[in-house]
Structure 1
Amino acid sequence: MVAPRCAERRHPVGAAGFTLVELLVSMVVLSLIAITMMAGFRFVFRAFDHTDTRREALEELTLGFNVLRGELERAEPLMHKVDNKDVVLFEGGPDRVRFANVAPPFLAGLPYFAYEYAVVTDGNGHRLELRRAPLDPARPDLAVVENSEPRVIVRLTRDLHFTYFGRLKEREAPQWHEEWPRMPQLPQAVRLAADEKPGWPELVVPLMIRVPWYCGTQDAPSTAGCSLSPKEKGPGGTGGEAAGDGTGGTTSSGFGSRSSGTGGSSFGSSGSSFGSGSSSFGSGGSPRFGSGGGS
């Protein structure tokens, strides 16, 4: 018998596989899907990066303003003689503020430091810089900070300037001033903002101690820097200030009140508070710088 021959397998016409056109169309579709997915991923990555950048900028601004706030609140009203007048070591202008403060406890050497915070604008943008240098009691000059290297505290998004709240004359109502001249007392508050209108970023710092420590003694009214204004109040709650006698006397103004005895400090208008804290004036002596040395 003859063995049957295996039937040949035959594929129907058109079932051999993909044609070249179908393969090209599939590749184009897959490419479009991949491009769309990459664009979506790129958008997500950029959104995350933008959020991180803004978060870092906000953290830097908050930290820098907190550093400035902490140093200004503790500014020391150290007295020295200029043209035979007792004035406090403080210089305030629109673009910079200089003051004296107690040295950090972990630093050995002179007990006081001179500080300068300046708003600098150049081709790199706006920034707040800090200079700090030891203050020699024999030569109490805040210009010593010019010999120190500046440190960038915070980079700003716009140009800011300093203003100072207080009274420049004995019987005038306290108000904001672009400069604070050499006075027997510190300003009541320091503001760092873009303009007079409230905006962002903005910082208002009430100074905790505005008169020398020895103003709490019995001879305070006759001591330089202690008599800030008449003791009677003016109209509208913007009246005078009176230096305390160490037994709970208060210093009042339109911006807030200060107890130079044992009370706290509150700055605000219509019951609002910009800061808190208490300052007690000792009954002993206070650092006072003369023209020939510290006393």
Structure 2
Amino acid sequence: MMRRQHGFTLVEILIALSIGALLISLVYGAVRIGQRSTTALIDQTGDNEVMRIGWQFTHDALTRALPIPSRDNSDDKTLFIGNPDRVQFVADMPAYVGIGGLMQIELGINASPKGEQLVLTRQHFDKATASATAETAQQAVLVDELDGFDVRYFGATDIGVAPSWQSDWPSQVILPNLIQIKVTPKDGEPWPLLVARPLTGTVPLDDEIQPDEGGLQ
């Protein structure tokens, strides 16, 4: 009687290879899912940090906005530009923000190959010439792909005029009492509503004003 030789048949080898390939595929898929989850979490954390820092800087700058007379236009006493999609002003910023002293700050929409970006620009402001210094300009992209951006202003546009919410700030004599900004990224949750109150150059209000939620819908 012949003994059966020890070893594996071709069928057994093929079955083992198939099982091994299946296990490798499952492990690789799990690793890929884990990598995508980690990447998404890192991206979300980065976006949240940009939002927090950008929003804090913008709020602090708006509260420090100053009325600076224009050298070119005697009627312009503020150098404040307020539109629905852009706000520009001069603020006295503390040294810890990087460039201390007077700075011209602009928050608005810029076009990009991807669509619209929300860009924050700051540059040193020379009070002697009443103009910004271009070589000190610094830009930061707060939102790479923007779905919605709206700025509204509350106050009296002139002495004796009743204060109200407006989409533009036409007054060149005084600053608005409140600036409200709403930002919605293309792929993400809307940012917290920002409401800032300039501390100087405004008309005193008797009553506390609530954010204009309805006007931003």
User: Could you say which residue in structure 1 is the equivalent of 2:25?
Assistant: 35
Work out whether 1:46 is the aligned partner of 2:30. Answer: no
Aligned residue type for 2:151 = F
Counterpart secondary structure, 1:87? coil
TM-superposition CA deviations, 1:45-97 (whole Å, max 9, x none):
11111111111111112111111111111112334577654722312122322
Work out whether 1:100 is the aligned partner of 2:100. Answer: no
Moved over 6 A (4+): none
Counterpart secondary structure, 2:77? strand
Work out whether 1:135 is the aligned partner of 2:126. Answer: yes
CA distance in 2, matches of 1:193, 1:26: 60
CA distance in 2, matches of 1:110, 1:31: 62
Aligned residue type for 1:135 = D
CA distance in 2, matches of 1:166, 1:31: 70
Residues 1:168 and 1:156: Cα distance change in structure 2 (over 3 Å): farther
Contact kept, 8 Å, 1:73 with 1:205, in 2: the verdict is: no
Which structure 1 residue ranges, 5 or more long, are not aligned? 1-9, 212-224, 229-240, 242-250, 256-267, 270-295
Contact kept, 8 Å, 1:91 with 1:97, in 2: the verdict is: yes
Contact kept, 8 Å, 2:87 with 2:107, in 1: the verdict is: yes
Higher relative contact order (CA 8 A, sep 6+): 2
User: Could you say which residue in structure 1 is the equivalent of 2:167?
Assistant: 178
Q: CA RMSD in A?
A: 3.2
* Offset of residue 35 of structure 1: 0.8
* Offset of residue 187 of structure 1: 0.8
CA distance in 2, matches of 1:94, 1:147: 28
State how 1:27-176 maps to structure 2 within 5 Å: 27-79=17-69, 85=75, 87-105=77-95, 112-125=102-115, 126-137=117-128, 139-141=129-131, 144=132, 149-158=137-146, 159-169=148-158, 170-175=160-165
Residues 1:94 and 1:135: Cα distance change in structure 2 (over 3 Å): farther
The number of residues matched between the two structures is 203
Higher strand share: 2
Aligned residue type for 1:154 = L
Residues 1:32 and 1:22: Cα distance change in structure 2 (over 3 Å): same
Give identity over the alignment, percent.
Answer: 19
CA distance in 2, matches of 1:41, 1:110: 47
Aligned residue type for 1:118 = G
Higher helix share: 2
CA distance in 2, matches of 1:57, 1:111: 28
Which structure 2 residue ranges, 5 or more long, are not aligned? 212-217
Work out whether 1:252 is the aligned partner of 2:209. Answer: no
* Offset of residue 22 of structure 1: 0.9
CA distance in 2, matches of 1:148, 1:95: 24
State how 1:196-211 maps to structure 2 within 5 Å: 200-211=190-201
State how 1:7-18 maps to structure 2 within 5 Å: 12-13=3-4, 15-18=5-8
Aligned residue type for 2:107 = Y
Residues 1:22 and 1:185: Cα distance change in structure 2 (over 3 Å): same
